[in-house]
Amino acid sequence: MAIADVKTDSSWIIVIGDSGKEIKRMGKNRKEVAGITGSFFVVVDGSWIITYDENCKEIKRMGKNKKEVRSAAGFSFTVKDGSWLITYDKNCKEQNRRSG
């Protein structure tokens, strides 16, 4: 099922499917939703950037360092790292890099 939205509600992160119904939820704790695509979403959790599938199962994580998640769309998300804009896939594999 495709992800239509990911909402935060007090202590929960709730994944909403394209039918408009809740698919799954997980505890929010320190997590902050940073980007959403139709097949995965991106969360910043302390010093980590983590991708999750629609069932809130972790796909991959990478160190945050000075990276800042800017956007997510299609099958990728974009991070600002110093003077670079870097595009990653859901497995945190670099796809593209450009000066930004």
Q: How far apart are the first and last CA of the chain?
A: 34
By CB neighbour count within 10 A (0-12 exposed, 13-18 middle, 19+ buried), where does 26 fall? middle
The domain of 27 spans 3-99
| Number of structural domains in the chain | 1
Rounded to the nearest angstrom, the gap between the alpha carbon of residue 39 and the centroid of all alpha carbons in its chain is 10
Amino acid 76 reads S
> 46-61, pLDDT tens digit by residue?
999 999 999 999 999 9
On whether the CB atoms of residues 2 and 54 are closer than 8 A, the answer is yes
> 7-40, pLDDT tens digit by residue?
999 899 999 999 999 999 999 999 999 999 999 9
The pTM assigned to this predicted structure is: 0.94
